Amino acid sequence: MVTVAAPGIHGLAWNWSGKAASLILSLILLIILRLNTDQSALRWPQTRMEWRWTILGVIVASAFAGITNFLLRDHSSLTGEQLFYEASLPGLAEEMAWRGLLFIFLARAYSPTNDVVSFVPAAIISTLCFGLCHGISLDNGSPNFYWLPFCYATVLGAWFAFLRIRVKSMVTLSIAHNASNICAVLASALP
- Gap between the Cα atoms of 37 and 158, Å rounded: 22
Q: Considering the chain, what is the average pLDDT of its residues?
A: 88
Model confidence pLDDT, tens digit, residues 17-61:
888 888 899 889 888 988 888 888 899 999 999 999 999 999 999
- Mean pLDDT to the nearest integer, 123-151: 93
Would you list the domain boundaries of the chain?
A: 16-188
Q: Are 149 and 30 in contact (CB under 8 A)?
A: no
* 114: amino acid identity, one letter: N
* Confidence check: pLDDT of 10 > 80: no
For 82, phi and psi rounded to 5 degrees? -60, -45
Burial track 57-80 (b if 16+ CB lie within 10 A, e otherwise): bbebbbebbbebbeeeeeeeeeee
